[in-house]
Structure 1
Amino acid sequence: MESFAGQYYYQSDGTSDGVCGLFLIGLSNQLVEIDFTEFQVDCASGGLLSIVDGWELNGQVFPGDIDHEDPLDERFRTFCGAHKPTKIYLSSQNVALIQFRLPRAGDGFRVTIRFPRNPQPCNVVSLYQDGYYTLKNYGHKKNCSVSIIYPEKIRLVNVDVGVTVSLPEVAFDMETGLTGKCGTNDYVELMDGNGLDTGRMKPRLIFCGADSVTHRDEMILGCQHSVVRLVSSGRFHNSVTFAYKIPSDEEMASISPDHC
């Protein structure tokens, strides 16, 4: 895993025919730019290299298929031989992956990695185990998630979901406060699981509404992967601000063994 811009070089010694990966991650408000300057991957020996828009691990992908603007098969680009990368690739979020299998000694590649700014971050993998984050839909119809690859304790700070309309001339009154009766269009999920795909995770809490509380009860997400997911219809300017940190050993001990 690498989070620094610069050049990366790999050359095979011919001792392995397994698949390796360079996991790239920027800050939450960045994208990943991939530019190959050298490329030697032999097709006949079984060599290949793939660029993944997102992260893939053990057959699971983040962002999940239902949360990404492109179909899953269009997010994987595979190359070898004369069919080599000829353009600069830009991810849709702050993570990307270069997967490669190079069984022939001497094969390899050199790549320049940059992290340009993303003015409207949506799906994000957190670089840190704790912090604050505000997840927004910017008034668009889209699903956005913050992925934290740790068990986490989540505390809500500010919620405005399904309340502030995108078109100012279309206004209506709604009671403040949070509710679990959100329908299917605009809501927040706190969820966890042991893989990357949010579609296979268990929702622990679903809510919507408007509230600003700095001392709300905290929820422990006790699996290997914690996610705050915002689903938006495009009718509202949705946002949720939350704090997250690693639970204590005592708090983790209180989680049921079959929780995940």
Structure 2
Amino acid sequence: MLAVLMVLTAWPLSPSLTEIITSHFYEVKVSKATIMASRTLQVVQPVSKLPPSLRCSSVCNVDLLCQVWCHEASSEECLLSDMYVMPTYRETNLGDTVMCNTKRHYDLATGAFSITATPSDPRASLRVKDNLIDGIYDRMTMNQCYLGDSSSTKPWLYLDFGEVISFRVVKLVTQSGGHRHHLNLFQGLEVRAGMEAVETPGNFSSYARVASFAGPATDFDQEVFLEAPEPVKARFISVQKMASMTIQICHLEVF
């Protein structure tokens, strides 16, 4: 959905308020083609004496849909998008990049050393595990999710950070649309963590239990927080469904 807005922001901002507005965002380069293909896109043409960066930030900051805004040096327009772009996302289409600013905070899953998982469903070959650590999710393309094979027993995914990290929360996001059947299957999840690699894929019994989600999920775009009561130190994190049947996860964060 494309909307063109004219925004008037002529009020003076104190330095402290300016710092508050801009501190909510992190710079990241993204392909303009990717941004323009957003599920929800607004092209804002604000009338203001404020610097363009602050002008766009102030609009995105109060827009509940806006997750990232971009600005071209040759244009005063602000491109506002609802897609998730993590601060450490690395754009591969370097010939078409624009500087953007994202609301998403730094996390540890983006760019993790490696991820292994139950094989993907062969009927959805593009919904692979690597989608969960690439740092971008457009919230409309199911092929940017991970879908485990429906024949799997206790499907799982397994993150290796390459070093010991400290975390407290594993956040999982359900799909943005489609069949509610997958929401009903989003249940019975358990997060465990450990220092050493497991010997048998899918057997995480040697790891300490961190948190669980009984579920099921009830909403599209639902953010499920699996939170430990206190920070956990580990090199490896597992997320496993404690029953058979598949699971679809569209976005993952660890912090």
Structure 2 length normalisation: TM-score?
0.31
Where is the strand percentage greater, Structure 1 or Structure 2? 1
Bigger relative contact order, structure 1 or 2 (CA pairs below 8 A, ≥6 apart): 1
Where is the helix percentage greater, Structure 1 or Structure 2? 2
Q: Which has the larger radius of gyration?
A: 1
Structure 1 length normalisation: TM-score?
0.31
